[in-house]
A = this chain, B = another copy of it.
Amino acid sequence: MPTISDVARAAGVSMSTVSYVLSGRRPISAETSARVRAAIAELGYHPHAGARALASSRTSVLALVVPLRADVNVPVIMQFVTAVVTAARRYHHDVLLLTKDEGTAGLERVAGATMVDALIVMDVEGDDVRIPALGRLKQPSVLIGLPDDPAGIACVDLDFAATARECLTHLAGHGHRRVALVGPSPSVYERGTTYAQRFLDGFTDASAELGLETVAHSCEPGADGVRDCLAWIDSEQPGTTALLVHNEDALVPLLDELRARGRSVPGDLSIVAVCPRDVATSLPVKLTSADIPAHDVGTLAVETAMALLEGRKAPGTRLLPPTIIERDSCGPLS
């Protein structure tokens, strides 16, 4: 493997000149630059990442911590991951993948060893034990999610409360007065990832503001969970004309069950789902949905990390506004 000094010799310049050609941190004459670049190409030179990290104390690597739990929607996680990797590459960074089950130790390990410039942490809980640990690191971090006390922390997420409000407003605009929320599985609420609660809060508030009659219920996984949830809604609030579904995994069994019961969508029942675009459009009924902008959130997390690194920005919360996409599952009250 050629080193920077090989390149310098081949180009007839000093090591520092080669370094500056590469970093652009000082002006180099066009001619010299060309000669250096030619030598680099000729020798197939790649700067040694470790040496560079040692000398510059920057690694060009971002840590990304992903959850592995069963009650997360795996394709959505993967959308975040690909968005983060893709965005990181635009900033000439790579991504080191950590799993949440390493906990605080994992963060301290990669940060302590100076393996990364910044950390992006997914699946943040309300009172996440990792948050104090992140505060002690010398690297900045960005949370995807919103803890109970986000003061002084960089957070990025969808505005779930506003999303719930928008969905209800949409349904009310179609004349619906009795709406039920089909929520995530109980384990999601219990675990303390706050998005479920924030959505529920927005739902409750907007329901009062709009003068709607509403109920909300969590929904266990699988066809049985859906049936139980529907039964609960039927008994608790008969005459419900619209469902707001905040549970990707419930959608397929839900549509199945409704079809089995002979209830048409949106004829007999309107549905608004909270889910990524591709799942909304891949179901038998194209669902009117509030988008989960995994790609945007992941990209924004990377941009925030970069801004933090460059001191362009102070930590703070950024919640993305909701987007309702009208499709075929939400009709006027019949």
CB–CB B82/A113 < 8 A: no
Residue of B nearest to A101 (CB): B86
Sorting the interface of chain A by its residue count into under 10, 10 to 19, 20 to 34 or 35 or more gives: 35 or more
Q: Is residue A59 contacting chain B, with contact meaning CB distance below 8 A?
A: yes
A223 at the interface (CB under 8 A from B): yes
Task: Return chain B residues, CB-CB under 8 Å to A89.
Answer: 102
| Binary contact track A42-60/B, C-beta < 8 Å → 1, others 0 | 0010111111111000010
A292 to chain B, nearest CB (A): 15
| Shortest CB distance A69–B (Å) | 11
Measured between alpha carbons, how far is A68 from B298 in the docked complex, in Å?
15
Residue positions of A touching B, CB distance < 8 A: 1, 44, 46-54, 59, 61, 64, 68, 74-75, 77-78, 81-82, 85-86, 89, 94-99, 102, 108-110, 112-115, 138, 222-223, 252, 256, 282, 284
Q: Are the C-beta atoms of A94 and B96 separated by less than 8 Å? A: yes
Please, which residue of chain B has its CB at the minimum distance from the CB of A102? B89
CB of A66 to closest CB in B, whole Å: 8
| Residue among B46, B61, B138 making CB contact with A112, cutoff 8 Å | B46
Residues of B within 8 A of A59 (CB): 49-50
User: Among A47, A64, A99, A138, which residue has the most Cβ atoms of chain B within 10 A?
Assistant: A99
Number of copies of chain A assembled together: 2
Residues in B with CB closer than 8 Å to A1 are: 112, 114, 138
Q: Is the CB of A53 within 8 A of B49?
A: yes
Residue of B at shortest CB range from A278?
A: B70
Contact in complex: B94, A95 (CB < 8 Å): no
Beyond A74-B78, A78-B74, is A110–B98 a contact (Cβ under 8 Å)? no
| A160 CB to nearest B CB, Å | 23
Judge whether A50 and B53 touch: CB under 8 Å. Answer: yes
Q: Given contacts A46-B113, A85-B99, list 8 more A-B pairs with CB under 8 A.
A: A49-B53, A50-B53, A64-B97, A74-B78, A77-B78, A81-B97, A86-B99, A95-B96
